[in-house]
A and B are shown apart, each in its own frame.
Chain A
Amino acid sequence: MQCRHDGRGAAADERAQRGKSSQAQPFEPGRLMDHGVAMISVRLAGVQGMPSAPTPLPRFEYNLLRLLRFLLGHLPVEQAEPLLFQRVLPLPLCISPTAAQLVADTLAKGLVLSLVRSGGWRRDSYLHRGESRTGRLWERHDVSEYALELSANPLSFLIWLTAERLDTPQRPWEPREGESTGGDEFFFALAYDRLRQIPAVKPHLPSHPAFRGNALCWLMYPGDFAALADSTTPDFTPWFQTPRVVILEAWQPVLLQTWLKSERAKCQQEDWQMMRQQGQAEQSVLDAYLRAAHQAQRPELARFLLRLAAAIFTSTKIGSDFWTGGLRATRPLRLSDRLATQTAALSVPRAILRLQDWERQARSVGYFDEGYVVSQFWKSEWAATDGDRLAQQCQAVLDSLDPLRFRHDVNDADEP
């Protein structure tokens, strides 16, 4: 594993070298951000540049590194919580080169490790430039093409997080415009996943500038962003391009788990309004995601939805109560509002019907047609998860909510 500075980071390299020789040049995040040189590249390559011996750090930098380790999943929440709720500290003008190197090293290793652990290690098949490839993440792709670059935003966020309280910040944090990279969004998605485990912090996260526009956060937890009044669903198109797309491949099991947890929790939701908001947010996220996947000819990146449906419809007795059975509180007066809420809750069954449309389209693609491999891939994916049965059950569940849906047991014999 290697952490390197790219062309934009040449000045930072030089400064770091000078810092090493004199041990006096401080690493200044503010100045680095001004010049846009704090660009870190993470490569799936051999280990280099490990520190030779532990170096003592000031308390602020020590806390910053501990928080970073927490955000990357290497430190339990109980140990990080006191750091998040301590008194507000003065925002430092700079951090030391040692701390900067440790941050870069921890990010480089932590992000790659997270990708590998979350699903990159699995021997799976995915499409790559219109062809099927099987193997582990690093076997399917030429890793030299998939460097995850990080801008100055993660580091400035870490400094801010160490100095401020997330629940009651005194100084706002804003990302630098136009600098956000795939690596940044991946880091912030990991951070979101960790921070939302703290109940006191969770309500403040969706509106925070670090997370509110992050497509990966929306895709993992769309319900969290439902209450944002001025929210617009992020565009997923960049996520189907290099290098972001490898994150989506590795994160299929993570997406499956977060959605499964959310779907199972719906039957405990008692509030009609909240259920409707959550369902609408899920619907808009899935619409945007599936549209982008279809355009990019990467249907297999909707695999987590098929597996999610397979995990839900384990029995033929699964009905709409699985999602809406908990709606007990004061129900809306209007039947139309009640139906809209119940229908909104069933965003996953509706998405499966959309995947069924893809399968029908795939069936009509001939051997000499463009996209034949993609079609065949999706058909095999569909068959492997028994897609026809899932779609049939999804349709039945959706029909059960329609009070005027044609029932096949009704015929002219009813007519007097």
Chain B
Amino acid sequence: MSRAYRISVKESQTQRIRGSDQIKTQLELLEILPPEATAEILRNVLAERGFRAAEDGTMIRQAAGIRVIVDPCDGSVTVTSEREEAITIESRQQATLFDDVGPSEETVREQLRQRLHQELQQKSAIELQRLQTEATERLEAALDELQPELARIVNQVTREALKQKAAQLGTIKELTEDPETGNLTIKLDV
């Protein structure tokens, strides 16, 4: 008389997974002053807005997993979103076998182990996908706020460059700024 018994295989894995996303763009800076002077103005404007200077000359700001890097020399902007997590995934596989018929216990164990690894890989891929989606969603949310801020930075740099250019051309007699329209009027004595 055959006897049935059950084999259970269980495994858990702990791993660090990482999701990231990145976009690049270019600030549209008008060539009012020489590039070096424009870069200096941009550096100052960015410093006022919480950017710090890195060793390679770029300006960096990092908050809530979002890193914004601006290169004042060429006006390039790189926004990176990163998410990293340590996850533990578990999987269990069971099979019933008989002591007198069917495959041997070793064969069944090997099959279970293979299925277990496949399941663990699938679970890991799902977690990675989740983290990647989170990183992208954070990036998209950050871009909504960053886009008007960059526009303001460009405006500020342009205004400052115009003032410096005007000062080079002559003596500034009158300078008026309209905060509603963004208009800047400079009257000079040349």
Q: Which residues of A contact B (CB under 8 A)?
A: 333-336, 339, 402-407, 410-415
Q: Which residues of B contact A (CB under 8 A)?
A: 21-23, 25, 27-28, 77, 79, 129, 132-133, 136, 139-140, 143, 146-148, 150-152, 154-155, 179-182
Beyond the given A411-B155, A411-B182, A415-B152, could you list 12 further A-B residue pairs with CB under 8 A, ordered by the A residue number? A333-B129, A333-B132, A334-B21, A336-B22, A339-B23, A403-B25, A403-B147, A404-B77, A404-B143, A410-B148, A411-B181, A412-B155
Q: What is the CA–CA distance of A406 and B181 in the complex, to the nearest angstrom?
A: 16
Q: What is the CA–CA distance of A403 and B144 in the complex, to the nearest angstrom?
A: 8
Q: What is the CA–CA distance of A402 and B28 in the complex, to the nearest angstrom?
A: 12
How close is B179's CB to chain A, nearest CB, in angstroms? 6
Residues of B within 8 A of A402 (CB): 25
How close is B20's CB to chain A, nearest CB, in angstroms? 8
Question: With A403-B147, A413-B179 given, is the CB distance from A335 to B154 under 8 Å?
Answer: no
Chain B at the A interface: SS class: helix
Q: What is the CA–CA distance of A333 and B150 in the complex, to the nearest angstrom?
A: 25
Residues of B within 8 A of A335 (CB): 21, 23, 136, 139-140
Q: What is the CA–CA distance of A335 and B66 in the complex, to the nearest angstrom?
A: 14
Contact A406 B27 (CB under 8 A): yes
* Residue in contact with B23 in the complex, picked from A404, A406, A407, A414, CB distance below 8 Å: A404
Contact B25 A333 (CB under 8 A): no
How close is A307's CB to chain B, nearest CB, in angstroms? 29
Contact B152 A414 (CB under 8 A): yes
How close is B176's CB to chain A, nearest CB, in angstroms? 14
Chain A at the B interface: SS class: loop
Which of B143, B148, B151, B152 has its CB near the most chain A CB atoms (within 10 A)? B151
Contact B133 A406 (CB under 8 A): no
Contact B182 A336 (CB under 8 A): no
* Residue in contact with A413 in the complex, picked from B21, B22, B129, B182, CB distance below 8 Å: B182
Q: What is the CA–CA distance of A336 and B179 in the complex, to the nearest angstrom?
A: 35
Q: What is the CA–CA distance of A411 and B181 in the complex, to the nearest angstrom?
A: 7
Which of B21, B23, B129, B133 has its CB near the most chain A CB atoms (within 10 A)? B23
Closest to A333 in B: B132
Closest to A334 in B: B21
Q: What is the CA–CA distance of A413 and B77 in the complex, to the nearest angstrom?
A: 23
Contact A414 B148 (CB under 8 A): yes
Closest to A404 in B: B25
How close is B99's CB to chain A, nearest CB, in angstroms? 48
Contact B152 A412 (CB under 8 A): yes
How close is B124's CB to chain A, nearest CB, in angstroms? 15
Q: What is the CA–CA distance of A411 and B140 in the complex, to the nearest angstrom?
A: 21
Closest to B143 in A: A403
Contact A412 B147 (CB under 8 A): no
Residues of B within 8 A of A336 (CB): 21-23
How close is B67's CB to chain A, nearest CB, in angstroms? 14
Contact A407 B132 (CB under 8 A): no
Q: What is the CA–CA distance of A405 and B21 in the complex, to the nearest angstrom?
A: 18
Q: What is the CA–CA distance of A219 and B18 in the complex, to the nearest angstrom?
A: 41
* Residue in contact with A406 in the complex, picked from B21, B136, B143, B150, CB distance below 8 Å: B150
Residues of B within 8 A of A410 (CB): 147-148, 151-152
* Residue in contact with B180 in the complex, picked from A334, A407, A413, CB distance below 8 Å: A413
Residues of A within 8 A of B139 (CB): 335
Residues of A within 8 A of B25 (CB): 402-405
How close is B175's CB to chain A, nearest CB, in angstroms? 15
Q: What is the CA–CA distance of A42 and B150 in the complex, to the nearest angstrom?
A: 62
Q: Please give me the 9 A-B residue pairs with the lowest Cβ-Cβ distance, nearest first.
A: A411-B182, A410-B151, A404-B25, A333-B132, A403-B143, A334-B21, A406-B151, A406-B28, A335-B136
Q: What is the CA–CA distance of A402 and B26 in the complex, to the nearest angstrom?
A: 9
Contact B136 A334 (CB under 8 A): yes
How close is A218's CB to chain B, nearest CB, in angstroms? 29
Q: What is the CA–CA distance of A339 and B24 in the complex, to the nearest angstrom?
A: 10
Contact B147 A404 (CB under 8 A): yes
Residues of A within 8 A of B129 (CB): 333
* Residue in contact with A404 in the complex, picked from B136, B146, B155, CB distance below 8 Å: B146
Question: With A333-B136, A335-B23 given, is the CB distance from A404 to B150 under 8 Å?
Answer: yes
How close is B170's CB to chain A, nearest CB, in angstroms? 26
Give 10 CB contacts A-B under 8 Å: A335-B139, A335-B140, A404-B147, A404-B150, A405-B28, A406-B154, A407-B151, A410-B151, A413-B179, A413-B182
